[in-house]
Chain A
Amino acid sequence: MNGFRAKITSLFAAVLLAATANGKASFAAGGEDADDATAKAHEIAKGDVLLEALLTELDRSKEQLKMDQVKPPYYIEYRVDDVDNLDTDASFGALLLNQRQRVRVLRVVVRIGDYKQDSFYGQGMGGTTILPFDNDPIALRRQIWLMTDQQYKAAADAYAEKLSALKQFSADPNPVDDFAKAPVLTKVEPLVSLKVDENAWKATLQEVTNLFRKYPEVQSVAANARFSAVNEYFVNSEGTISRTGRTNATVTLNGSTQATDGMRLQRSPYWTEIRSENLPGRQELLKQATVMLDTLKALRNAPIVEESYRGPVIFSPDAADDIMAGLIGGNILGKRPQLGRPNRTTGAFATSYKTRVLPRFVSVVDDPTIKEFAGKKLVGSYDVDSEGTAAQPVTVVKDGMLENYLMGRLPIRDFSTSNGHARASPGTAAFPSVGTLILKSSEAEPAAELAKKLKEMVSKQSKPYGYRVDTLGPGNAPRLLYRIYASDGHEELVRGAVFNELDVRALRNDLIALGNDPLVSNRVTGVPQTIIAPSLLFDELEVKRADTSKEKLPEYPAPDLQKQ
């Protein structure tokens, strides 16, 4: 109940440091006359009660929010995610859950100080609350008002804490600003809504998971469908106003079993689209589920990878997408290191700016402005990021050289502005994220050509077979891994293998060819993202036996079925 810590000390510190102890807030205006801008903003918001409420509280706080002997805020932002979700789960032919959730989440950031040095630190990095979903202006404004007040006080404390923390480190001769300036943006898009045939999906998921009856070898069969419509509102004290909507729909199948020796075998194919009607339909899902169950069954009887292999490996586009997301997507984000740390950013490419990180024939672009690729709509596309900055295409790697990072408004060394890549899940802080990441080669070849090369290399090295990865699971562990025999080209499914040292070094040194068969992978893990990558050929990777203990088999057999 008494959630308040004694922060009287830090408040005192803030008092001592407050330079402008009186007068009105000196907000950075967007160039226009402030009153004109305000009037224009409200004109845009007309008819949207939520947007109007946000602007009304923003104006009020800009004009009046000020504590004695504490600086007024120099920047305030409000982000609201109006979320409508539907979740349906089925297992063994029956419905487990069917849940609709509607929620409006507000995130407030208040900054004290200036662009060079401010309070964005610790508790000053923003706060979250929920807003009413009724369009009642006073009720909406009450929540906004309370959270703004709380965040202003938090910023005051955080500012003092940050300045005191900085005293531990010697001053940086070339300090990086705490907050990037950004152009004022106005963009109000039409609202999106959830459109889904709920009953049809319930029936489909039940039908799909009912296939368990035909597969006594498979222990667990489940399916989930999740549909989401999010309208994101963003306003800040610089004058930016945006309202953008996004929808996505994901269906996931899950199958799990054990081999007779106890090894756990899993598959979880999924499909994500902007519109639910573009997901695989009933027939297609039944087909895909059958494939999944058949492969699980096949995996149970597949030989284990006992001996280590070091040689050429080919990745299907589906597996390549996962490699890209993990090894490149995770390392090109302009995330600021901890206070006092000298690094530019975090991750494996932190010190790789202007150095070669990929083969010379490979380039990587993140371009959220592309709406479609090869006829498929991309969930990673957006117009405005979660900080109200327009999305921009970014060439991250050009001819193998790292040229850029994905940036939000938190500057890092050598990168002082946002390129529109700060994104957030509802209620969370915005961080640099992948939008639509595309891996391309200046020397792309047909996939068949890659397979041919693999066979030639294998023969040359007098190996009986090479490896082809069809599907990866968590941690880039293969789920469907095949041996391709050099003699006659036939494939053999194997199990229980992992890669040794499949890392950024391998991408740079051992990746020798890319296919011309790029595959779009839409994914919603946190924020919606799209990865587009073709087949990859590595000249040398190590495939070895997974060091996982085998689980015990079930103590007793599954129950008999009553219905057939």
Chain B
Amino acid sequence: MGVRRRGMQALAWLLTAQLAAYPLAAARATNDEPVAKASSDVVLQAMKNELDRAKTDLAKSDTPPYFISYTAYDQDQIFIIGAYGALLTDTAVKRRSVDVTMRVGSPELDNTHGQSRVTGMTSGILPLQDDPDATTRVLWELTDREYKRAAPAYLNVKTNTAVRAEEEDKSPDFSKEQPSVHVGDKLTEPAFDKKAWEDEIRRVSGAFRKYEHVFYATVVLQAGSSNARMVSSDGAQVVIPSATARLVLEAQTRADDGMDLLRVETFQAPTASGLPKEADLLAKLEKMAADLKELRKAPVAEPYDGPALLSGRAAAVFFHEVLGHRLEGHRQRDEEEGQTFTKKVGQEVLPKFLTVVDDPTLGQINGLKLAGTYDFDNEGTPAQKVTVIEDGVLKNFLMSRMPIKGFEKSNGHGRNQPGLMPTGRQGNLIVSSKQVVPEGQLRQMLIDEVKKQGKPYGLYFDDIQGGFTLTTRSLPQAFQVLPVIVYKVYADGRPDELVRGVDIVGTPLAALTRIITTGDTQHVFNGVCGAESGSVPVSAVAPAMLFSEMEVQKRAHGHERPPILKAPGIESSTGGAAKVNETASPREVNP
């Protein structure tokens, strides 16, 4: 009670619970003898045995399941969160969870139909140890529980479907796929020097102390390994070990008029040793603090309609949120959805010079590792490169095993975090262009366009945050587009002017058709994306883009003042005596 959700303090409670998915993602590995490798895996063997038993025994029931799968996730994660030189959280989480999926009925109509989708899965905790008796026993309990959920749900679905008006999309509920058999190589446990990282996080987060205007800042490290094992009644058997490390810098301030201003930087690597060096982090942090300082003083944006230039990073986030989410297959079928693209297949939805693919099989671009890379999706379907928009024309959707009209098969994009039913999701969304100019020329082109349209200035969006850039937030929102660093670029040669509180008006989608040209360099944004099926790691890749028109307005914001008293212990960066720039109490403690 009385706990208000506020930007300033929203984080760490949720973080330990927020074990983001490392689904069947992996370093790509070839292997010749999956069967041999699998047989030495006690847990996998137990899963297979119990699955076979469930399949055989439940086949005798009145409404037998036609599909069962078990997915067990070993998670071994470390979370360290620092703020202003001290650790707020330092937790190691080790657990083995399992999702039991069951489908009763037939692929044409089953218990997961429509709103009843949640009845397709029951989750639980498996023993940490490789104990076959305890493991099969838990699997049996969960399978029985799931059956008792799925079977009545199917009867409900059948009745409802008979009673209700016919649905527009009469696609089956589950696609038929070739079962995969793949056992990834065990990874050597990545070395992690906990003590060294704790100290580094203390130091890096401590660097925020010298910025009086940064009211709230955290450094979050999440590192660990995962092993996903999946078996299904149609013969799939997929084992994928993986490892990942993520570091997030987040800093926040509040303008005098009450507007909250936030900067977030995310870094991702397969292991913690691949994260940026401390000096690089500190340089980034300094830039964030400087941005916030400028933003606090910046004037609030006025309503504007005219040319705009998006940096590669801003364009990547923009495409992920605005376009990518709308290309997720299940949205074309859910009658509650906007279904922007459902009936536009074969039509031009973007300028002809743009092509958009989602390619989880791609490991890196320009030497930068992509976060949305995986070999198999969470339904055991091999990842595929999907050309969703070719030369501006809509061709395809991101498909899980939930078919939609005209798209009967999965294309390896069924993703979820443990415990949630998969849906079509993005992996690595890559925007490429045939109409490019050297990136350095785009600014001049923006000015030219501004002059052509007779406007006093154009807008340069240097950074946009979306649901997936705010990785430490509890409820990332799909489709959220929040410009944070935006400059007015004047036609008359005045210096650029930073503005704050910019909000893009109307359907941002409309803006996509007004792209004039793009830069020649692709920029990568790695992050964690949240939607119905939970948090999954993704990448978005795009060049800088010039728009002939973008309409913006002033964003609504809170009116609470910045903190009344000065922050404790504002001190010089060189250390030395603590200079307290408040009415210092004589008992001031030096750190």
Contacts and interface: CB of A to CB of B under 8 A. Distances in A.
A220 B141 contact: yes
Interface string A25-68: 00000000000000000100000010011001101110111110
A260 interface: no
A559 B48 CA distance: 12
B345 interface: no
A556 B53 contact: yes
A169 interface: no
A127 interface: yes
B472 to A, nearest CB: 11
Interface in A392-451: 429
Contact of B61 (A95, A133, A150, A555): A555
A374 interface: no
Interface in A65-111: 65-67, 89, 91-103
A408 to B, nearest CB: 15
Interface stretch (A4-12, A185-193, A313-321, A502-510): A4-12
B563 A552 contact: no
Contacts of A563: 132-133
Residue among A52, A60, A97, A555 facing the most chain B CB atoms (10 A cut-off): A555
B193 interface: no
A3 interface: yes
A280 interface: no
Contact of A145 (B135, B260, B565): B565
B567 interface: yes
Interface in B199-236: 202, 206, 209, 215-216
Contact of A132 (B13, B86, B561, B568): B86
B187 interface: no
A63 to B, nearest CB: 7
A130 B133 contact: no
B8 A139 contact: no
B88 A131 contact: yes
Contacts of B308: none
Given A66-B564, A128-B3, A49 B127 contact: no
Interface stretch (B271-279, B510-518, B579-587): B579-587
Interface string B562-584: 01110111010000001000110
Given A142-B84, A555-B144, A94 B134 contact: yes
B29 interface: no
B8 A150 contact: yes
A6 B556 CA distance: 9
Interface string B6-25: 11111011001000000000
Nearest to B562: A149
Contact of B144 (A4, A5, A128, A554): A554
Contacts of B53: 556, 559
Nearest to A125: B2
Nearest to A219: B141
B493 interface: no
Given A67-B561, A91-B127, A1 B568 contact: no
Nearest to B565: A64
B303 interface: no
A95 B129 contact: yes
A52 B50 CA distance: 58
Contacts of A42: 587
A171 interface: no
B1 A125 contact: yes
A53 B589 contact: yes
Q: For the side of the interface on A, what is the size category?
A: 35 or more
Given A92-B127, A99-B93, A102-B90, A145 B140 contact: no
B131 A124 contact: no
B170 interface: no
A99 B93 CA distance: 7
Contacts, number: 226
Looking at chain A's contact residues, is the secondary structure mostly helix, strand, loop, or mixed?
mixed
Given A555-B61, A559-B53, A67 B134 contact: no
B479 interface: no
Contacts of B590: 137
B588 interface: yes
A271 B135 CA distance: 28
B52 to A, nearest CB: 11
Contacts of A139: 83-86, 206, 591
B558 A92 contact: no
Given A63-B583, A132-B88, A96 B9 contact: no
Contact of B8 (A133, A146, A552): A146
A8 B85 contact: no
Contact of A96 (B85, B91, B128): B128
B561 A126 contact: no
A136 B85 contact: yes
30 contacts: A2-B556, A3-B5, A3-B6, A6-B559, A56-B587, A64-B583, A65-B565, A91-B138, A92-B133, A92-B134, A92-B138, A93-B131, A93-B133, A96-B95, A96-B128, A99-B93, A103-B89, A127-B3, A132-B88, A133-B90, A136-B86, A138-B568, A138-B589, A142-B567, A146-B9, A429-B1, A555-B57, A556-B57, A556-B140, A559-B50
- Top 9 closest A-B pairs, CB basis? A4-B558, A132-B86, A94-B127, A556-B57, A139-B86, A94-B134, A134-B86, A138-B569, A141-B568
Interface of B: 1-10, 12-13, 16, 49-50, 53-54, 57-58, 60-61, 82-95, 125-129, 131-141, 144, 147-148, 202, 206, 209, 215-216, 258, 260, 262, 470, 473, 480, 482, 555-561, 563-565, 567-569, 571, 578, 582-583, 585, 587-591
Given A56-B585, A91-B137, 15 more contacts: A1-B480, A3-B6, A64-B583, A93-B133, A102-B90, A125-B1, A131-B88, A136-B591, A150-B8, A429-B1, A556-B140, A558-B140, A559-B49, A559-B139, A562-B132
